Structure 1
Amino acid sequence: MTDEPDPGSAEAQGPVTITEELAEALADKREELFEEFGINDGFPPEVIREAETRTEGVTQEIQDELDERQDLRDLTTWTTDPADAQDFDDAISIKREDGAYRLWVHIADVTHYVNPETSMWEEAVQRANTVYLPGYTIHMLPPILAETVCSLVPQEDRLAHTVEMEIDDETLSFEDVEIYKSVINSDERLTYNECEERLENEDLPLHAENTLAFELADRMHEQRKEDGSLVLNPRRDRAHTIIEESMLKANKAVTHTLMWDRGVEAMYRVHPQPTPDQWNDALKEIQELNGVSIPGQAWGDDPRLAVNAALEEAPDRQLNKIQRAVLKVMPRAKYMNDPFGGHHALNFDIYGHFTSPIRRLSDLINHWIVHENDVPENLVELCDRASDKQKDGETVERLYKQFMEENGIDPHAVNNRGMEVVSEEEAKHTV
């Protein structure tokens, strides 16, 4: 499916243009930051060779795996990602049942290819996550693997790790959760814009499925807010809501299963809460913003509900300031082998990551634990490394964006539209 870009859209505006001199300055800045924070840009030759080898003979390998996995290839399944996404590591399926929704979240089965016996695993532990800079990405896994056999591309059989959830119609709680290896075949790859079009037009394919997915996602989103989950992006479109809520539900299902049903350690995501004084400082700063007020009924025992209320009513121009006031007092989330303390921002007693094994070490480790029902001996060390490297990645991103802004480049525009290098002469004629 091809779309004519809206005249005001990022596609219509084209990429951000920069001069060769500025491109060289950006490259020098990246190299400086990578050296300072120990980030490896290129992959060692043996890791590349291993990745290339694992992409050979995959059609027969997947066929052979059908004897050991659930065959879900006839189940209507699709992916939804940004227009510029290079790999698709999650897909969903949904059906309405009597008194329940049945939601499948299919995640690329990365650990089938990347396991503790491989060089790719060792390299992933060193990197710990993918680092996304405006216009530049440093991958955790070799792209030749992540963008091929680990990518849930449409009309191709792919190995997946599926989280199948029966969700009660009234309470939206789990009636049943199954986690298993599968083979899927995605019907279509949608961009977020295309998902919105499918929701609007009942004559387009996947309209009914996306409509049902949004019905469930919207209900889960509203329930989270009512329960005290902090929602810093209150005006996301329907497509983002579908994916965000589906992935949150799957992550929660997996980590609850690991903790309560199996009683095993895992890489749990723990987010401490600010002190009462810190929350008071944040709420005071929010209340003093022009055009922003916190409704009286929201000044209860839970500051998260007060922030949600302020975000709902605030003018668009103040959203970033409210978010900054909150993030300023929020402690960093970290990975731990015990979920003690829960995730404050989400208001989940137990939470962890499972849905992005291509770009996060925590998810890769949790896939391995779910499959093996055993934990790596150095799990605590892996938790600490993932936490530290995430912090490093975020710092590099912040410093790189700051450098871009100092040189007249809008990082947000680059993220949305991409970047193109032109000569000095061409730059003079670019409006």
Structure 2
Amino acid sequence: DVFIPQGKDMGAVTGHKVVVQVTDFGGPERKPEGIITEIIGHVNDPGTDILSIVRAYGLPEEFPDSVLKQVEAVPDAVTGKDMQGRLDLRDLQTVTIDGEDAKDLDDAITLSKKGGVYTLGVHIADVTNYVTENSPLDEEALRRGTSVYLVDRVIPMLPHKLSNGICSLNQGEDRLALSCNMDIDENGNVMGHRIAETIINVDRRMTYTAVNAIITDRDEAVMKEYEAFVSMFEQMKELADILREKRKKRGSIDFDFPETKVILDERGKPLEIKPYERNAATKIIEDFMLMANETVAEDYFWQEIPFLYRTHDNPDPEKMKSLATLINNFGYSIRFHNGEVYPKEVQKLLANAEDTPEEALISRLALRSMKQAKYTVANTGHFGLAAKYYTHFTSPIRRYPDLQIHRIIKENLRSGLANKRISHYDKILQQVSVQSSAMERRADEAERETIKLKKCEYMSRHIGEEFDGVISGVTNWGLYVELSNTVEGLIHVNQLQDDYYHFDEEHYELVGEMTRKTYKLGQPVRVMVLGTDKLLRTIDFIPAKSLDEE
């Protein structure tokens, strides 16, 4: 409790969510004191809950005046001056493929095939044309580091006029791009590539759903609607399969987790929570973006130019050893080479667990044993992708590192980097990598918290109902159970009333003292929803009666 003296409360009443600045931390006998600096809204008002998380993580909402002023001067259409000296690719059949509700379309694709060689063009919005170095827009973008996608809103890195306007590769509009055109053989090897400043015009804005209906379901109505594009989508699928197979051979790990999709009504109440499935079309885009990212990273690594890389360190051997012990309980093993684990071993483990009841669990345990990917100035490789060279080139609308390397690439293409510019980039990139990695963490945490909050709110309407789930975590205080809709809750050890349970640390299971009954990872259970706590964002389950009677 923080005490707010009279007159320092901005007129807040009981039930208001507020931001408090602490003025005195109090002592053993007195409470801390503070003043209210903002009223977010009433606890029951739509959106107040998410806004509280926005405030808690210090996510910036409004853009400063200096930024808005700079944006005003940005043209709504590409000018003749901007087109000068660019490679004109407007004649190529070009598509964007995104989710239905995406507004910031930052990547477009072209593809053709001749004599067994695919020519893949990955065309990325040329954001740096409008966001110039050290301008208010640039400083604000660096401060934000990334766009944040919360369940009911996006907090963009760049103002909408750019992200949904001139920088978005909208259908039928001339747009400036930075393109990576690659010639790829039928084994997935890049035989040659060209990175260039280009001008493109998107023929069709496609959705993952429509492309998937063409390449997977062969839906006649959809195929007729996009007749002129069908053969290109078929070639895309061919090439994507080749690229994925090649990555798989070298040991790239594909954590195919269902992300959570929360569907809200207009008041922000969760109507449905379900796993967000990847389909063949989402994978095509992933495969092509990975290819472009690797190609650009390798090119700039060998040019020995200051650059930002996306790196993923090898896992900690200790964590891998405990993973090995854990999966051993399920009859799986993982091989070590001189105390190290290669990506291929993790990939094999996931492949062996595929389509088993414990698949999601093994994936999660493996993922938890990994380090987090980050941005660095040294290219130390990407363990998860089993890639020697990797960067983030494909999303400059929503990630600052991509924007930063676009600037370096363009300067290098135009005039080469003089010594003065090399030392300039050497000086700033370390800070950019640290800031970008930190902002990415903040965004991830805020996104996770908003999803947890909505899950909690959703399950509060299902108290007393029964669900089937799988044990996703075992601790000495109880069992975590995940339901098929990705919601996770806790059965507190006190709720297991048929026996006294001990936590067996080595096997990650709870064992009943008298009955020797065990609860272990991956085990299917039926639970009843006991309650939820929106403040702590937790959900409590108890074992459903039918479970004990079986």
TM-score, normalization: structure 1?
A: 0.82
The reply on whether 1:378 has 2:433 as its aligned counterpart is no
Shift of 1:134: 1.3
Three-state SS of the structure 2 residue aligned to 1:178 is: strand
**Counterpart in 2 of 1:239?**
281
Three-state SS of the structure 2 residue aligned to 1:47 is: helix
Three-state SS of the structure 1 residue aligned to 2:45 is: helix
Alignment of 1:30-429 (within 5 A): 30-31=51-52, 33-56=53-76, 58-59=77-78, 61=79, 63-170=80-187, 172-199=188-215, 200=218, 201=220, 203=224, 204-233=227-256, 236-260=278-302, 262-286=303-327, 288=329, 294=332, 299=335, 301=337, 302=341, 304-312=343-351, 313-315=353-355, 318-339=358-379, 341-373=380-412, 374=417, 376=425, 377-408=427-458
**Counterpart in 2 of 1:11?**
none
Three-state SS of the structure 2 residue aligned to 1:205 is: helix
**Stretch of structure 1 that moved more, 151-160 or 195-204:** 195-204
> What residue identity is the alignment partner of 2:355?
P
Structure 1: distance between partners of 2:81 and 2:485: 45
Count of equivalent residues:
382
Shift of 1:277: 3.1
Structure 1: distance between partners of 2:49 and 2:104: 27
Structure 1: distance between partners of 2:434 and 2:368: 22
User: Closer, same or farther in 2 for the Cα pair 1:316/1:368, shift >3 Å?
Assistant: farther
Percent identity between matched residues is: 32
Structure 2: distance between partners of 1:80 and 1:22: 39
Cα deviation 1:196-230 (Å, max 9, x = unaligned)? 12322554331110110110111111111111111
Cα deviation 1:86-133 (Å, max 9, x = unaligned)? 111001011112242110000000000111142111100100001111
Shift of 1:237: 1.9
> What residue identity is the alignment partner of 2:290?
L
Structure 1: distance between partners of 2:281 and 2:350: 20
Shift of 1:47: 1.2
Shift of 1:35: 3.7
8 A Cα contact 2:42 2:48, kept in partner: no
8 A Cα contact 2:137 2:158, kept in partner: yes
Bigger Rg, which one: 2
Structure 2: distance between partners of 1:288 and 1:149: 55
Three-state SS of the structure 2 residue aligned to 1:315 is: coil
Structure 2: distance between partners of 1:228 and 1:370: 29
8 A Cα contact 2:289 2:394, kept in partner: yes
**Counterpart in 2 of 1:417?**
none
Three-state SS of the structure 1 residue aligned to 2:287 is: helix
Shift of 1:338: 1.2
> What residue identity is the alignment partner of 2:411?
E
8 A Cα contact 1:30 1:400, kept in partner: no
8 A Cα contact 1:55 1:148, kept in partner: no
Structure 1: distance between partners of 2:342 and 2:125: 37
Cα deviation 1:337-381 (Å, max 9, x = unaligned)? 110x21111111111100000000010001001011345331111
Cα deviation 1:154-203 (Å, max 9, x = unaligned)? 11111111101111223x22211111111111110111011112322554
> What residue identity is the alignment partner of 1:308?
Q
Three-state SS of the structure 1 residue aligned to 2:366 is: helix
Is there any run of 5+ residues in structure 2 with no aligned partner, and where?
1-40, 258-276, 461-483, 487-550
> What residue identity is the alignment partner of 1:353?
H
Q: Which one has more relative contact order, counting CA pairs under 8 Å at least 6 apart?
A: 1
Shift of 1:324: 1.8
Alignment of 1:2-13 (within 5 A): none
Structure 1: distance between partners of 2:106 and 2:343: 31
Structure 2: distance between partners of 1:22 and 1:279: 44
Three-state SS of the structure 1 residue aligned to 2:314 is: coil
Decide which structure has greater helix share: 1
Structure 2: distance between partners of 1:331 and 1:26: 34
User: Closer, same or farther in 2 for the Cα pair 1:330/1:30, shift >3 Å?
Assistant: farther
8 A Cα contact 1:52 1:145, kept in partner: no
The alignment yields a C-alpha RMSD, in angstroms, of 2.6
Is there any run of 5+ residues in structure 1 with no aligned partner, and where?
1-19, 415-431
**Stretch of structure 1 that moved more, 80-89 or 399-408:** 399-408
Cα deviation 1:358-413 (Å, max 9, x = unaligned)? 00001000100101134533111111000111111112222222222232269x98
Three-state SS of the structure 2 residue aligned to 1:206 is: helix
Structure 1: distance between partners of 2:430 and 2:363: 31
Three-state SS of the structure 2 residue aligned to 1:85 is: coil
